[in-house]
Structure 1
Amino acid sequence: MENITLQPAKAEIIKQAKAYITALFEEKLPRQLVYHSPKHTATVVKEAKALGEAAGLPEADQEALVLAAWFHDAGYTEAYAGHEYRSMELAATWLRQQGYPEERIRLVQDLIRATCHTEKPETDLQRLLRDADMSHMGREDFFANAELLRTEWEVMLGKTFSNEEWAEMQLDFLTSIKFYSEAGKARYKEQFKENIKAQRELLKKAEKKKKKKQEEEAGNFAEGKRGVETMFRATYDNHNTLSQMADSKANMMISLNSVILSVLITYFGAKTSTLGASTFTRNPILAVPMALLVATALGSVVTAILSAQPDVTSFKWLKKSPQVATNRRVNLLFFGNFTKLSLDAFQEGMGELMANKDLLYNNMITDIYYLGDVLAKKYRLLRISYTIFMVGLILVAFSFAIVLLYKS
């Protein structure tokens, strides 16, 4: 008679638990939990039923096992870390509302606690639920589930892994766990071995791929890595463009101020003019703005000429010095340096460059450095030229305005 009354109660309580958990997950479970999802819980329930039946559990224990399977991840609706203990509380609260016996509630809680990785399952029921929760390790969908867990950890915990790191961690996990129940060992043993074997193969492939990448990165840069070549080409082009722009701006200032000076010199040198020298005799105060204009044009043109003047970097080489190719301050690719060398020294240095990737790129880097140094001087002088011209014109304009006010 006891079995006849228990079966309907079991079916009803489990059906109600399923409906409650399904609604709870739909309402509160974070969508970022792509592994610990309703599907995972349903799978654990399915595996728990199968393991319980294989173990020949009494109906009451089977009921407790399945109820614990439904509630074992309910705590994820409120917490990620330590969710098992929130699952225990949620299960106890709901079961009490259903009038479930208190001793059976404690049993369900003990089963849920056993799913925590820091706990060691001690009873047969705990071993069965632990195996059901870890059943993905011995199923064919292990690798698909592992990628879901990887994604979930990246989103929820901020943990990111390279393919090699993930493969290594998964292999360590597979080789460190075990199935506790006899029913679990029998159900998952063969596929579990296959998963370990496949994971080792994945790790070997990941390590091989990483090694190949390291070998490519450690290859001979002098053979022409596209990224390095692009960088140097773009840098040289930028330096040349900036140098042409500086020379163009300097030539513009030279031309403009040369015209101004030519006009002023012609004006001052005219012996006869409607506004000739007699003008300054009658209005000596006009000499102030005219002098400012001459000084402005002269200062601006001088600094512009200095900016456009060729600047060749060089070095002092002594025959007692060490090999030129290894001298970090020498650039054998620039005529300002190598023309100071003898032909033999230059040929020897170039031979070393072509045979040594580090020396080759060191010389190219040195060349870029000195090009930048020359550009810095050009633009500094050019900035001074433009500043003198701008400030000078302002002062000239103010001085003419003062002269006009004075005359009026």
Structure 2
Amino acid sequence: MDAFTKVKEHALDILRNKLSDKLYYHSIDHTLGVYDVCNEYIERDKIDRHRAELLRIGALTHDIGFTVSNKNHEEHGVVITTEIMRKYGYTDDEITLVAGLIMATKIPQSPKTDLERIICDADLDYLGGDEFYEISNQLFKELKGFGVIDSIDDWNKAQINFLEKHHYHTDFAIEHREPEKQKRLNELKQAVINSG
């Protein structure tokens, strides 16, 4: 097995065995979804093999810190990922790049490089995707379970606030995800008006 395959297996093993079953949104399915969207960017943008490998590691580990805590999970994720990457022979520069990818996904997102812009948009791809309601319901269930939010009305208001502040970073997402995201925003606003 090459180093990347070992990192991938190691990261997925941690996610399978250590993530809380109360993480309905921040589950291994979310991680694999972000990984798949990153692969689409890699293909579309013709990202070279080495940078693609580091982006894939970032995608696999961007939420691995949830195995420690749902607070400051990005920082925890950097610690875990650094250990894994060191174990399989990655350089300090490679580790630093991946740490930057993980930290870029912290809300509010502030990506500085092209790979950071990609992982940020992959992480929130669903906001402008077909599965918006299905996925946002998983996040509602998760946040309700942790006592962060109580009612669907509060959740809709929180989502409106989030969607209004969020913006995509890559040309692809701006063109192909932003219009659908705006539709969801208008639907949520209508739902809040109707519930009032």
Above 0.5 in TM-score?
yes
Q: How does 1:79-228 map to 2 (within 5 A)?
A: 79-156=69-146, 158-186=147-175, 188-189=176-177, 192-210=178-196
Residue 138 of structure 1 and its aligned partner are, at CA, apart by 1.6
Q: How does 1:4-403 map to 2 (within 5 A)?
A: 12-156=2-146, 158-186=147-175, 188-189=176-177, 192-210=178-196
Whether contact under 8 Å (1:28, 1:77) holds in the other structure is yes
* Structure 1 portions without partners, runs of 5+: 1-8, 211-408
Residue 159 of structure 1 and its aligned partner are, at CA, apart by 2.3
CA distance in 1, matches of 2:4, 2:124: 22
CA distance in 1, matches of 2:181, 2:109: 25
- The answer to which structure, 1 or 2, has the higher relative contact order (CA under 8 A, 6+ apart) is 2
Call closer, same or farther: CA 1:40–1:80 in 2, change over 3 Å. same
For 2:193, the aligned partner's letter is E
List structure 1 segments (4+ residues) > 4 angstroms apart after TM superposition. none
- Of the two, which has the highest radius of gyration? 1
Call closer, same or farther: CA 1:198–1:115 in 2, change over 3 Å. closer
Residue 175 of structure 1 and its aligned partner are, at CA, apart by 2.3
Call closer, same or farther: CA 1:198–1:185 in 2, change over 3 Å. closer
1:156-214 Cα offsets, whole Å, 9 max, x none, are: 2x12343332222212222221111223324x33xx4234324423432443243xxxx
TM-score, length-scaled by structure 2: 0.91
Aligned length: 196
Residue 97 of structure 1 and its aligned partner are, at CA, apart by 0.6
For 1:93, the aligned partner's letter is E
Whether contact under 8 Å (2:68, 2:76) holds in the other structure is yes
Alpha carbon RMSD of aligned pairs, Å? 1.8
Whether contact under 8 Å (1:45, 1:69) holds in the other structure is yes
For 2:138, the aligned partner's letter is L
For 2:14, the aligned partner's letter is L
1:366-404 Cα offsets, whole Å, 9 max, x none, are: xxxxxxxxxxxxxxxxxxxxxxxxxxxxxxxxxxxxxxx
CA distance in 1, matches of 2:184, 2:19: 33
Q: Identity rate of aligned residues, in percent? A: 27
